[in-house]
Amino acid sequence: MDNIKKNNQLAILGGDKVINTTFKPYNSIGEEEKKAAIDVLESGVLSKFLGAWHEDFYGGAKVREFERYCESYFSVKHAITMNSLTSGLIAAVGAVGIEPGDEVITSPWTMCATATAILHWNAIPVFADIESETFNLDSKSVEKNITERTKAIIVVDIFGHSADILAMRELADKYSLKLISDTAQAPNAYYHNKFAGTWADIGGLSLNYHKHIHTGEGGIMLTDNDEYAERMRLIRNHAEAVVGPKKESNLSNMIGYNFRLGEIESAIGIEQLKKLDKLVFHRQGVAKILTAGLSKLQGLRLPIIKPECSHVFYVYPMILDLEILGVSRACIYDALVAEGVQGLIQGYVNLHTLPMYQQKIAYGSKGFPWISDSYTSNISYDKGICPIAEELHESTFLGYQMCLNDLTNNDIGLIISAFIKVWNNFKYMK
């Protein structure tokens, strides 16, 4: 009887926890990637980029092979590899012609690089609110934030579900705006029979180590626009040294960098991309089992997948109805962690609340670019500008990091059991 009592009692209150093992870390690297990397090492050519107008300006054999493979896989005219998606977003914002003082609308619920790519070109990030169904940008909030200074929208396909890119495309066309898609977390997600990231003027995927597939660090930029593709290649590789001999006439934003991906990473990327379908399918299967196991828990809203969309579940997103549950998210989170659940996150992020935006300090100490001859408005980053994002972050959003562990069916069953146990014991948590 005592054992039964301890099994049913919450671990946070002294009972036995449900999960007593550490789940196996997720690792998409296999023998194919090892062989590909060794082949490059044995060739002695780890990179072949030259920061000059030369036949090697566009990189070595593996870089070019990886780019051609990406173009075929994602059905786009151009794929441009980068050493990170951060670099890729910087290149994309520069390529579409953003100028100092321009405003670019984006989401507060994203990795900080999405917005700092805007600041990089001395333009002004403007944060629109998100929708509570998919946690992506709300087109109505975006339109409310459009001014005569708005020149682009950076849409984020958060957690693995595409934003409503057709609604964003309609806004972009209506107001003559450029459209960039940050699809870091949604490789292989579909929106109306096309890959997320391929609907925008430029889209970008991340190859950072904790994604579905990775090369350690890296990014892929996708576009059907010849001009944007070439300008991103220039920004990637010391543009200012190349535009003269290449006879480029448009010198706007031709400040170049070393954003180049190496031959080893490209060789690994080729092998990783071959696995993407299988890896995503497995994550979707895990999510399906989780949804079936958690569907009867009151006060827990499970992931929503919009019609004609797919979800690749970088994060398994949930919302808590605190009125129904009668306990705080912090109490629920602590109880689940005590039961051994690994990979939970409370809230996500609200970029507009970061010190840089609250104090408007970025370049130097005098408020540039918010205070400058190029920008005379007074954009607000006050709390309350993104009420849905703020409430979700502060009190109701609970996520499970799906790319953290390589979950077996037994692991998934234990996670479900831990949730059910906590839900059955709320009366002891009040």
pLDDT in tens, 215-262: 999 999 999 999 999 999 999 999 999 999 999 999 999 999 999 999
For position 318, what pLDDT does the model report? Answer: 98
Model confidence pLDDT, tens digit, residues 198-218: 999 999 999 999 999 999 999
| Cα–Cα dist 24/214, whole Å | 18
**Domain extents in the chain:** 2-25+275-347+390-428, 31-272
Going by pLDDT thresholds of 50, 70 and 90, the confidence category of residue 6 is low
Residues in the chain: 430
On the question of pLDDT at 268 being above 90, the answer is yes
Mean pLDDT of 301-305: 98
For position 313, what pLDDT does the model report? Answer: 98
Class of domain 2-25+275-347+390-428: alpha beta
Mean pLDDT of the chain: 96
Mean pLDDT of 96-112: 98
Query: Token match 């500008």: residue?
Result: 385
Residue 82 in tokens: 């980068």
Q: Are 221 and 88 in contact (CB under 8 A)?
A: yes
Closest CA to 157 of 193, 200, 118, 208: 200
For position 8, what pLDDT does the model report? Answer: 84
State the angle between helix axes of 239-246 and 226-236 in degrees (0 to 180), rounded to the nearest 10.
130
Model confidence pLDDT, tens digit, residues 112-134: 999 999 999 999 999 999 999 99
| Cα–Cα dist 319/397, whole Å | 5
Residue 7 in tokens: 């099994």
Model confidence pLDDT, tens digit, residues 346-378: 999 999 999 999 999 999 999 999 999 999 999
Residue 36 burial (C-beta neighbours within 10 Å; 0-12, 13-18, 19+)? buried
Closest CA to 352 of 392, 380, 394: 380
Instruction: Give the domain 31-272 fold.
Output: Aspartate Aminotransferase; domain 2 (3.40.640)
Mean pLDDT of 182-193: 97
Give first-to-last CA distance, the chain, whole Å: 25
For position 1, what pLDDT does the model report? Answer: 38
H/E segment holding residue 306: none
Q: Are 33 and 272 in contact (CB under 8 A)?
A: yes
Please write down the long-range contacts of 329-332, taking CB distance under 8 Å and 24 or more positions apart: 329/395, 329/396, 329/397, 329/398, 331/429, 332/398, 332/422, 332/429
Distances, alpha carbon 347 to alpha carbons 102, 336, 389, 393, in Å = 30, 15, 9, 4
Model confidence pLDDT, tens digit, residues 63-100: 999 999 999 999 999 999 999 999 999 999 999 999 99
**Secondary structure (3-state) at 172:** helix
Mean pLDDT of 378-386: 96
Mean pLDDT of 305-309: 97
**Secondary structure (3-state) at 276:** helix
Mean pLDDT of 328-354: 97
DSSP string over 72-137: HHHT-SEEEEES-HHHHHHHHHHHTT--TT-EEEE-SSS-THHHHHHHTTT-EEEEPPB-TTTSSB
Question: Which alpha helices (DSSP H) does 295-386 contain, by range?
Answer: 322-325, 329-338, 355-359
Going by pLDDT thresholds of 50, 70 and 90, the confidence category of residue 185 is very high
| Cα–Cα dist 257/51, whole Å | 9
On the question of pLDDT at 416 being above 80, the answer is yes
Mean pLDDT of 305-323: 97
Model confidence pLDDT, tens digit, residues 25-50: 999 999 999 999 999 999 999 999 99
DSSP string over 371-424: SBTTB-------TTSSHHHHHIIIIIEEEEETTSB---HHHHHHHHHHHHHHHT
For position 314, what pLDDT does the model report? Answer: 98
Model confidence pLDDT, tens digit, residues 155-173: 999 999 999 999 999 999 9
Q: For 120-152, b where at least 16 C-beta lie within 10 A, e where not — what string? A: bbbbbbbbbbbbbbbbbbbbebbbebbeebbbb
Proportion of the chain above pLDDT 70, given as a percent:
98
